């Protein structure tokens, strides 16, 4: 409410500032117009009517139809009292434009038509002796009022079009954000459950003959589940209110690859991490994409490769980041381009302008390779 009141106050002040030069011109113009043209000379009543027309300008955006009615009423009275044509009519195109720009056609068109008819009829009946000329004046009011109303209507259409486009963009951004979050949840939960499943299988296998080793695996399961829960909680924080005061965790990046690899090793999959090239700053979107691709690739190895080892290679060049995950297992059950995990990784790479290739290796195992551009970092 306070914000609305401030906006209304600023609007009123801006239109009042516009009304000041208009008012000066209209008063001075009325004085000289009545001196130069035949008809009733300017008096206090004439300037009062001019003042009413000027007073319509400050409220034109807050109360458009009231402002138009005031402008029309002052002009009608001015004509009916026999004053010669003058600047009192300047408030009419301004208020007609405002009505056209503020209301839909079904509301603004009747307002324009009524004002034009009333003014034209007043002009016509004030002097029947020159009815032909007055009839032309009647048509002049109809046509003259059309231009500012039409301009205002076009402006309103343009404004609504821009607003609709922005709303559509906002909906698209929200959808993409939900889609990205859903993919993140898929990757986090999938990796966590795959690691826990493998650890639980090992624990069950050694439970009877090596309780101490089973205890270690259970401890790893607890740590893996807690890590997954923490990462899931940080990912879902995007759905909290923006002003809830909760500090957001940074998006995962290359600096968290060591922790990811260590968790995978604890789950029972030997993994080697190899970094080459530069180690400069990368865009956050590229770092997160690389992290998620490695995470999903290791998840697939845990799920599908069987007894295997894996190697994660990260090579950073000046214009490109290459991420490659290979394993020595029996090969993923996901054919390149058909599995949901591969499809998701390819979509992630494409979202940052990169590409992703995946498939079985000739000598056995599976390879996932992503190339992510880093220009403009």
Strands 355-360 and 366-373: antiparallel
| E strand intervals along the chain | 271-277, 310-316, 320-327, 355-360, 366-373
Query: How does pLDDT run across 290-346, given as a tens digit for each residue?
Result: 988 998 888 888 887 777 889 999 999 888 999 999 998 875 544 444 456 788 888
Assigned domain for 212 exists = no
Both structure tokens of 9: 């106050």
pTM: 0.55
- Residue 355 confidence (pLDDT): 92
30 Cβ contact partners less than 8 Å away, ≥ 6 residues apart: 42, 46, 47, 50, 86, 87, 88
Assigned domain for 65 exists = yes
Strands 366-373 and 320-327: antiparallel
Count of the separate structural domains present in the chain: 2
* Same domain (yes/no): 16, 164: yes
- Residue 2 confidence (pLDDT): 64
- Residue 154 confidence (pLDDT): 93
CB 369 within 8 A of CB 314: no
CB 333 within 8 A of CB 304: yes
Task: Tell which of 168, 191, 222 closes a domain.
Answer: 168
> 271 lies in which domain range?
253-377
Assigned domain for 189 exists = no
CA–CA dist 222, 360 (Å, integer): 33
If you write DSSP's letter for every residue of 14-30 in order, what string do you get? HHHHHHHHHHHHHHHHH
CATH assignment at residue 257:
3.30.565.10
Mean pLDDT, 10 residues at a time, over the chain (377 residues)?
A: 74 82 82 71 85 89 90 87 81 90 90 82 62 51 75 91 85 74 72 71 73 75 71 65 53 84 84 86 86 88 81 90 88 49 84 89 86 75
Is residue 150 left, alpha or beta, with left meaning phi > 0 and alpha meaning psi from -120 to 50?
A: alpha
* Same domain (yes/no): 134, 261: no
Task: Tell which of 168, 188, 214 closes a domain.
Answer: 168
* Main-chain dihedrals φ then ψ at residue 277, nearest 5 degrees: 85, -160
Assigned domain for 228 exists = no
- Residue 377 confidence (pLDDT): 45
């Amino acid at each position: 409410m306070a914000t609305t009141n401030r906006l209304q106050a600023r609007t009123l002040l801006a239109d009042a500032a516009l009304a000041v030069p208009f008012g000066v011109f209209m008063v001075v113009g009325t004085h000289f117009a009545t001196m130069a043209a035949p008809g009733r000379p300017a008096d206090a009543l004439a300037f009062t009517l001019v003042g009413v027309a000027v007073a319509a300008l400050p409220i034109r955006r807050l109360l458009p139809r009231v402002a138009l009615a005031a402008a029309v009423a002052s002009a009608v009275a001015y004509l009916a009292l026999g004053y010669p044509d003058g600047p009192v009519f300047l408030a009419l195109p301004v208020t007609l434009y405002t009505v056209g720009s503020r209301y839909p056609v079904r509301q603004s068109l009747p307002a324009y038509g009524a004002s034009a008819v009333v003014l034209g009829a007043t002009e016509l009946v004030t002097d029947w002796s020159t009815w032909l000329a007055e009839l032309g004046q009647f048509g002049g009011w109809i046509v003259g009022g059309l231009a500012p109303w039409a301009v205002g209507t076009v402006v309103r259409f343009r404004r609504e079009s821009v607003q609709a486009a922005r709303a559509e963009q906002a909906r698209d951004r929200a959808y993409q954000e939900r889609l990205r979050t859903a993919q993140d949840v898929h990757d986090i939960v999938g990796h966590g459950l795959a690691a826990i499943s493998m650890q639980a299988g090992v624990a069950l296998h050694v439970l009877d003959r090596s309780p101490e080793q089973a205890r270690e695996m259970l401890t790893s399961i607890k740590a893996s589940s807690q890590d997954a829960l923490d990462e899931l909680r940080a990912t879902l924080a995007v759905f909290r209110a923006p002003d809830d005061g909760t500090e957001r965790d940074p998006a995962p990046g290359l600096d968290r690859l060591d922790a990811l690899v260590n968790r995978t090793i604890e789950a029972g999959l030997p993994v080697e991490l190899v970094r080459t090239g530069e180690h400069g700053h990368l865009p956050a979107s590229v770092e997160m994409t690389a992290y998620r691709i490695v995470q999903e690739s290791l998840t697939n190895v845990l799920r599908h490769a069987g007894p295997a080892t894996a190697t994660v290679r990260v090579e950073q060049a000046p214009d490109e980041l290459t991420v490659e995950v290979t394993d020595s297992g029996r090969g993923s059950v996901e054919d390149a381009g058909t599995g949901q995990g591969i499809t998701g990784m390819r979509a992630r790479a494409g979202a940052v302008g990169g590409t992703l290739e995946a498939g079985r290796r000739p000598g056995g195992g599976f390879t996932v390779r992503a190339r992510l551009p880093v220009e403009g970092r």
